[in-house]
Amino acid sequence: MEEPLQIAPLDHVDSSAALRITQQFSIFLGIGYLFYLGMLAPDIHRAFAVTAPWWNVVALPAFFGPGIAMGVLGWRSSEAQLRFLAGCSVIGCGVSLALWPVGWNGGLIENDKGMWFSQFIGLPGLAAAAAWRPKWAFLTLGVVVIGAAAINHEVRAPDHNGALFPEIAFSFAFCIVPVAAGIMAIRTAGVLDRTRNQAFADAAQTGAVRARADERRRFDELTHDSVMSTLLAAAREGSSAELAKQAARTLDAIDDLQSGADDDQQLGAAQSVAVIQAVVAAVDPGLRVDVDTHVPDAVFPAGVVRTLASATSEALRNSVVHAAPAATRSVRVHLADGPSLRIEIADDGVGFDPAGVPPHRLGIAVSIHGRLRQLPGGSSSVVSRPDHGTRVSVSWTAGR
């Protein structure tokens, strides 16, 4: 039987859309600069006759160096580093154009192409789209287009020259569409990141509301199961030693709930399993919890146990809702030295393709992975494949 497909690590799933788009954009620009460097080699060689050697030494690295570096480093660099290289590419282009009148020796080029840089002047505009705000990118495009067209008008022989302004208009119209597309791609990625961050913030707020609801539920349970039962016992049976013990336990429980000491206290192995069994029974009353323990005397922080239990509850709810009606489920609790606590929730239902989960479905990302990522020592994994069921594992190890 084929091995189930494991979901990608959470760090990969949560990576910035703006970073991914900037990386892909950088690789595209690097390939473009490298392609034009090879294609224009004959034109670059011919331009040596009309420019001073020092200008070529400055202009060639300034034009091509940062752009090619973007392509090479685009696979693993940060968004800030790639934007810096894009800015260097634009500045290198501007400096080279500004120095050209000084580096020109007065010679003329006997063809329609003119200087080699005029044939890919849209690439600096694309680099500006990656580096700066849209208004500065469009301004940069206008400056480099006008500068390249003006230089071409001066360096071409009269027989190969045309009107300056139509050439500027044509070059600008030719370049503005890809530059605008690049600006929109980067802008859309930023909007996606902000939208996703807001969704996670909303999910966190929802979690806080749910936590308050759980707190109220615990208070209601305490009121019903302890306070009311103690008062009823006092009304029916009168004073007794057993009633005094029951009242003392009730008062201790009220003090713990009021002080919030529950999360700081330590639970034994049996108590920890009881908490997990309670949340499992709340979702699927007939489901048995299998326990595997080699450390019956181990203790666990109550907050850790509740976090794992909450993630277990979410995984089990997902299974009940999304697995086939006839699917069978299992929950297994492992307690080991460390101490460590691991809970495995599995079913043989329809399974799912993790890559096909819509971004707005935050049950796994927030309620399982998110909970465990915020828990020191916590970890989680989800393994699933269509028609192969699903297995969720949540765990905690002290000191990890």
The rounded distance, in Å, linking the Cα atoms of 121 and 149 is 10
CA angle 52, 58, 63 (to 5 degrees): 120
pLDDT in tens, the chain (400 residues): 333 333 333 333 345 777 888 888 888 888 988 888 888 888 888 889 889 999 989 989 998 888 888 888 888 878 888 889 888 888 988 898 899 888 888 888 888 788 888 888 888 888 888 888 888 888 888 888 888 888 888 888 887 777 788 888 888 888 888 888 888 888 887 787 787 777 767 766 776 666 666 666 666 555 654 566 567 667 766 677 666 766 666 676 566 555 554 555 788 888 888 888 888 887 888 888 898 887 878 889 888 888 898 888 888 888 888 888 888 999 999 998 878 999 999 999 888 877 666 655 556 666 777 778 888 889 988 888 888 889 999 999 987 6
Question: What pTM value is reported for the model?
Answer: 0.48
The rounded distance, in Å, linking the Cα atoms of 116 and 142 is 18
Q: Where are the domains of the chain?
A: 10-198, 210-261, 264-397
The rounded distance, in Å, linking the Cα atoms of 129 and 134 is 6
- 254-297: per-residue pLDDT in tens? 665 555 545 557 888 888 888 888 888 878 888 888 988 878 78
Number of C-beta neighbours around residue 217 at 10 A = 10
pLDDT of 165 reads 84
The rounded distance, in Å, linking the Cα atoms of 67 and 120 is 12
Spatial neighbors of 95 by CB under 8 A, at least 6 apart, are: 58, 62
pLDDT of 9 reads 37
The rounded distance, in Å, linking the Cα atoms of 125 and 240 is 88
Number of C-beta neighbours around residue 273 at 10 A = 19
3-state SS of the chain is CCCCCECCCHHHHCCCHHHHHHHHHHHHHHHHHHHHHHHCHHHHHHHHHHECHHHHHHHHHHHHHHHHHHHHHCCCCCHHHHHHHHHHHHHHHHHHHHHHHHHECCCCECCCCCCHHHHHCHHHHHHHHHHCCHHHHHHHHHHHHHHHHHHHHHHECHHHCCCHHHHHHHHHHHHHHHHHHHHHHHHHHHHHHHHHHHHHHHHHHHHHHHHHHHHHHHHHHHHHHHHHHHHHHHHHHCCCHHHHHHHHHHHHHHHHHHHCHHHCCEEEHHHHHHHHHHHHHHHCCCCCEEEEECCCCCEEEHHHHHHHHHHHHHHHHHHHHHCCCCCCEEEEEEEECCCEEEEEEEECCCCCCHHHCCCCCCHHHHHHHHHHHCCCCEEEEEEECCCCCEEEEEEEECCC
CA-nearest of 352, 308, 309 to 327 is: 352
Q: Which two tokens stand for residue 384?
A: 């699933």
Fold of 264-397: Heat Shock Protein 90 (3.30.565)
Spatial neighbors of 285 by CB under 8 A, at least 6 apart, are: none
Phi, psi of 267 (to 5 degrees): -110, 140
Q: Which two tokens stand for residue 296?
A: 């019956």
